A = this chain, B = another copy of it.
Amino acid sequence: MTPPQSKNFHTANPEFEQAIDRSIPEFAAAQLSDEDKYFKNHKPPVYLPEIAVEVQDFVKYHLEHSHKRIALVTSGGTTVPLENNTVRFIDNFSAGTRGATSAEYFLENGYAVIFLHREFSLLPYSRHFSHSTNCFLDFMTEKDNKIQINDQFADEMLQVWRKYNEAKDTNSLLLIPFTTVNQYLYTLKEISENLHIMKSKALFYLAAAVSDFFIPQSRMPQHKIQSSATQDGELVIRLAQVPKFLSRLVENWAQGAMIISFKLETDNNILIQKAESALERYHHQLVIGNLLQTRKKEVVFVTPGHHQENWIRLTDQEINDNVEIESKMIPAVIKVHDDWIAKNDNNN
C-alpha cells in the first residue's frame, strides 16, 4: 500500500555498480572444528533460553495438533559490533522485504513459520504499512471525535489484518529477533536443533544477509590497540571471516530438513556459476539466485545436478498489477519441498 505524500527518493538505497566486492574470494565451508571453536569462544545471548522455550512450544504444538510443516524464514541483515565501541557497528543492507513477503506466502500455503528477523526490520503483514517515508498516522483520520482508519485504505488494511489475525489465532507465526551476527548464529543453531524432530517436514529459507567478516571476541584485547587512531588520525579495523556455518546446518544441526539459501549478485554472467558452486560446497537442496537490480521481478532456482536452472519471472502485466514475485516463488519452493519429503519417506 503506497502511503500518502511519499518523497521521490530513498536515501538508503545502495548503488548497484558498487554493491558487491568481487575481489574477495569464496570462503571454505566450516568444519566441525570451526564450529567447536566458534561456540567455545563466543558467549551465547543471555535471552537464548527464553527463545528455546518459545520454539519448543511452537514445534510441539504443530507436531501434535496442526500437523503443519514448519518453515524457518531468516530475514534482514546481521551486524558486527566494533570492539570497545558497541555504539558503532558494521551492518548489511537489507530491509527484510524478501523474508517478510515470503513468510506471508508460506502462511497462506499452510505452513507454520518461525520468522528469525533483524529487530525493527520488516515483518509479515505490518510491512504493508511500515517503513514508509512518512508517518503511519497518515492512514488515519478523525470522525465524530473518534480515530478511524481513512476510508481510502480501510478495505486493504482489513484484508491484511484478517490474514495476520488468522496467523495469530492458529499460532502459526513465531517472531524471533536478532541484531548481531553472534546472536543470529546462536539462535539459528538453537532453532535448528529444536526443529530436528520435524525431519524432512522442516524447511529452512535462509534469506537473511549474514555478515562475511566480524571481530572475534577472543582477540578483542589484542585488537583494541590496532583499532585506536594511528598517528595520522586513521582508524584501522582488522576483521576475520565468519565461519560458513551453512555446512554445519546441512550436515548436523538440521540434517534431513530441506535447506534453501540465497545468492545475491550484480553480474548476470556469474550468477548461475556462483549458485552451483554454493550447492557443491554445502550439499543442500536449492539455491535461489537473484540480481540486486532485478530481484523483485525475477529469480532463478538452481538445484543439484548438471545445469538445473528454473527462472521465475513476473510478466509485464503482473508487474503493472503489483503482483509480488514471492506469490509465484513460494508455491514453486513448496513443490521442491514435496519432492524432498517424498524422497525421504521412500528412504525410510
Chain B residue contacts of A228, Cβ below 8 A: 21, 23-24
The verdict on A335 contacting chain B, using a C-beta distance below 8 Å, is no
Stretch at the interface among A156-164, A196-204, A272-280, A307-315: A156-164
> Is A18 positioned at the interface, with any CB of B under 8 Å from its CB?
yes
Question: What number of copies of this chain does the assembly contain?
Answer: 2
Binds B, one of A65-73, A144-152, A340-348: A144-152
Which stretch in A134-142, A317-325, A326-334 binds the other chain?
A134-142
Contact A27 B233, CB 8 Å, known A8-B47, A135-B125: yes
Given A21-B85, A90-B89, A237-B240 contact (CB < 8 Å): no
Q: A175 near B: Cβ within 8 Å? A: yes
The residues in A between 165 and 187 inclusive whose CB is less than 8 angstroms from any CB of B are 165, 175, 177-180, 183
Interface residues of A (CB under 8 A from B): 7-12, 14-15, 18-21, 23-25, 27, 45-47, 50, 79, 81-95, 119-120, 123, 125-126, 129-131, 133-137, 140, 142, 145-149, 154, 157-158, 160-162, 164-165, 175, 177-180, 183, 209, 211-213, 224, 227-229, 233-241, 264, 292
Q: Are A126 and B131 in contact (CB under 8 A)?
A: no
* A237 neighbours in B (Cβ, 8 Å): 236-237, 239
